[in-house]
Structure 1
Amino acid sequence: MTRSLLPPVAEVLESLRVVSLPLATRFRSVDHREAALFEGPEGWAEFSPFLEYEPGEASTWLAAAIDFAYEPQPVAHRDLIAVNATVPAVPAAEVSAVLARYGACRTAKVKVAEAGQTLDDDIARVAAVREILGPEGRIRVDANAGWNVDEAERALHALSEFDLEYAEQPCASIEELAELRDRLRKWDLPIAADESVRKATDPLAVARAGAADIVIIKAQPLGGARRALDIVEQAGLPAVVSSAIDTSIGLAQGALLAAALPELDYDCGLGTAALLTADVTTDPLIPRDGQVPARRTVPSDELLARHAASADRVAWWQQRIRDCYASL
């Protein structure tokens, strides 16, 4: 989005509502998720980069939110999006309670390589997921770039007995992903790139290097649906649409992005409202029968008030939007 097409920042701030929503399970070391919401001609949008992101990176998330609030979204090819359950790096004994929040999802993404945990912890967690999903369930693991190549090879070999669908961002660099993919070629275990797409200066470099089989795309970090769709088209790889722990407003943007993909071969990471114990709408995008609808949603005034962030946090988000706006 060019600066000439941006609405005035005062207009964005005029409808701003900041919420703090409790999580059922700690995620990224937090137990509440803060998000800034605002309304434009096309509806409500969410701006919720993680708190540690600097304006240069977070500004892309703001561009995506403005696009969703002010511009019609690409044409949809489907009305419902199959989604996966997301299992944080919880003890194996807690897996059942996490999966129960997602209902009938056939696929689970399991977090692994958590700092302070061991491979045995990962194996126990994935084993618990496999036991609950049964042999027909699909399991993918997400290391968030937590392993080097040797660690990844060893860990994925140990986890291979659980019939993994793919491994998401097992290593940090494109060079490491390419080497690992070559080592795993005979195992037929696909590698999915997440951080190497959404946090990269060149999101297509990982595809050009032959370092991934799948790209993970997220609407907010990539600047909106149109840019994400362009990345998928140029990469020439299957895509999985995912999200952070968004409110249903943010998840709606991801669901409409997934709906606009010409092909969608994998279940998407858009069921994470199940990890929240509260939301901003009376009709949240909670998975039902393993799917979420591809539609916009509208916040409830009562819920916005109930979960409103403190005045100092509102002021912090207002300044953050001004800082990010200056970077656009």
Structure 2
Amino acid sequence: MHDDAQPVPPPLPPLADLLATARVVALPLVTRFRGIDVREAVLFEGPEGWTEFSPFAEYGDEESSAWLEASVDYGWRQAPPPLRDRIPVNATVPSVDPDEVAAVLERFPGCRTAKVKVAASDQTLAQDVARVRAARQALGPEGRVRLDANGGWNVDEAEHAIHALAEFDLEYVEQPCPGIDDLAEIRLRTKYMGIPIAADESVRRVDDPLAVAEAGAADLLVIKAQPLGGIRRALSIVEAAGLPVNVSSALDTSVGLAMGAALAAAVPHLEYDCGLGTASLLAADVTREPLVPEAGAIAVRRVEPDPGLLDRYAADADRTAWWLARLERCHALLARRGSVL
């Protein structure tokens, strides 16, 4: 073997190793977000430290297995060398009333960027406009405002909405439409406005994450460590896509946010404030030292859960059984594929 040969990745650890330390938690949120009031997650400890498995409940096992692969990778392999020790982050504004926006932003001290949720199925465009206006007013002209539609518009709706919201000097619009073809179409239709289009779900919920770049469907990619199968796999997508990227989270506990921070720390060119400040949306966390924004940034570090908080916010017996069964099914999927870390 040559001295410069790449080391062989270690095999997937046995399920028993994951279950030995697994803890299922249910953390209350400050504000309803993505239709939930409580965020559930499984935490377990590997040789490198604690890690998190937390695909949203509606995701199937096939999609969720990528989240488990990422979780095991972070717990059993050393993270890539960091290029920075702090990650600038954005504030996240859920689909709240306009008069609640300022209070939400106060939970993100020092953040100069706000990502505002829009296109909720139970809300109108007028409500979105009022919320985005409130965010712009709270941040002032120097602040940055970006939108996240989570694929909630069709092409015509997206064109109309982006036109209505353009006056607020938008940094970009994330996932305005669900499909790659629709993203490419809305990017073409709104190009004259000069507002970049970002892809999130279209990167992590398709067979080929590079299809967005190949179709010219986005100006930048939003990447997340868990859904993409881990830090190294996400970095390989960044390199192959050749587009600017932002690193975001999926409403993780501080343990999961630490994984996202490790990814952001290893991205060669980090041009945007990252969506890794979402611990501020949790009313409780699993650590006494949560990864919440300080002066607009979070630290790049491992997070150690507090045993007392793990006990206090333990999920009930039924939910614990549900999550551990899901963990077992996803592990079996990875084992059948012969997955390595």
Equivalent residue, structure 2, for 1:169: 175
Correspondence list, 1:147-166, <5 A? 147-166=153-172
Structure 1 counterpart of 2:14, from 8, 26, 39: 8
The separation in 2 between residues aligned to 1:327 and 1:108, in whole angstroms, is 38
Equivalent residue, structure 1, for 2:3: none
Work out whether 1:124 is the aligned partner of 2:130: yes
Equivalent residue, structure 2, for 1:216: 222
Equivalent residue, structure 2, for 1:326: 332
Structure 2 counterpart of 1:263, from 263, 269, 275: 269
The separation in 2 between residues aligned to 1:145 and 1:307, in whole angstroms, is 32
The separation in 2 between residues aligned to 1:173 and 1:49, in whole angstroms, is 21
The separation in 2 between residues aligned to 1:221 and 1:173, in whole angstroms, is 17
Structure 2 counterpart of 1:38, from 34, 44, 49: 44
* C-alpha deviation, 1:4, in angstroms: 6.9
The separation in 2 between residues aligned to 1:28 and 1:184, in whole angstroms, is 27
Q: Please give the secondary structure, in 2, of the residue aligned with 1:181.
A: helix
Q: TM-score, normalised on structure 2?
A: 0.94
Structure 2 counterpart of 1:25, from 21, 31, 47: 31
* C-alpha deviation, 1:259, in angstroms: 0.3
Equivalent residue, structure 2, for 1:106: 112
Equivalent residue, structure 2, for 1:80: 86
Equivalent residue, structure 2, for 1:247: 253
Q: Please give the secondary structure, in 1, of the residue aligned with 2:123.
A: coil
Work out whether 1:311 is the aligned partner of 2:317: yes
The separation in 2 between residues aligned to 1:200 and 1:264, in whole angstroms, is 24
The separation in 2 between residues aligned to 1:27 and 1:91, in whole angstroms, is 13
* C-alpha deviation, 1:82, in angstroms: 0.3
Q: Please give the secondary structure, in 2, of the residue aligned with 1:116.
A: coil
- Amino-acid identity (%): 63
Q: What amino acid does structure 1 have at the position aligned with 2:39? A: R
More displaced stretch, 302-311 vs 155-164: 302-311
Q: What amino acid does structure 2 have at the position aligned with 1:162? A: F
- Two-structure CA RMSD over aligned residues (Å): 1.1
Deviation per CA, 1:272-299: give whole Å up to 9, x if none.
0000011111110000000000111100
* C-alpha deviation, 1:179, in angstroms: 1.2
The separation in 1 between residues aligned to 2:324 and 2:119, in whole angstroms, is 35
Deviation per CA, 1:72-102: give whole Å up to 9, x if none.
1111100000000011111111111111111
Equivalent residue, structure 2, for 1:68: 74
The separation in 2 between residues aligned to 1:245 and 1:18, in whole angstroms, is 15
Q: What amino acid does structure 1 have at the position aligned with 2:205? A: K
The separation in 2 between residues aligned to 1:301 and 1:179, in whole angstroms, is 50
Equivalent residue, structure 1, for 2:186: 180
* C-alpha deviation, 1:172, in angstroms: 1.0
Runs of 4+ with deviation above 3 angstroms = none
The separation in 2 between residues aligned to 1:312 and 1:15, in whole angstroms, is 18
The separation in 2 between residues aligned to 1:116 and 1:315, in whole angstroms, is 32
Q: Please give the secondary structure, in 1, of the residue aligned with 2:157.
A: helix
Q: What amino acid does structure 2 have at the position aligned with 1:126? A: V
- Structure 1: state its 5+ residue gaps: none
Q: 1:106 to 1:319 in 2, by over 3 A?
A: same
Deviation per CA, 1:188-215: give whole Å up to 9, x if none.
1100000110111100001001110000
The separation in 1 between residues aligned to 2:57 and 2:107, in whole angstroms, is 26
- Structure 2: state its 5+ residue gaps: 1-7, 335-341
Deviation per CA, 1:29-63: give whole Å up to 9, x if none.
11111110000000000000001111111000000
Q: What amino acid does structure 1 have at the position aligned with 2:145? A: I
The separation in 2 between residues aligned to 1:39 and 1:240, in whole angstroms, is 27
Q: Please give the secondary structure, in 1, of the residue aligned with 2:171.
A: strand
* C-alpha deviation, 1:3, in angstroms: 10
The separation in 1 between residues aligned to 2:296 and 2:154, in whole angstroms, is 33
Work out whether 1:207 is the aligned partner of 2:213: yes
Q: 1:188 to 1:295 in 2, by over 3 A?
A: same
Q: TM-score, normalised on structure 1?
A: 0.98
Q: Please give the secondary structure, in 2, of the residue aligned with 1:5.
A: coil
Q: What amino acid does structure 1 have at the position aligned with 2:61? A: P
* C-alpha deviation, 1:308, in angstroms: 0.9
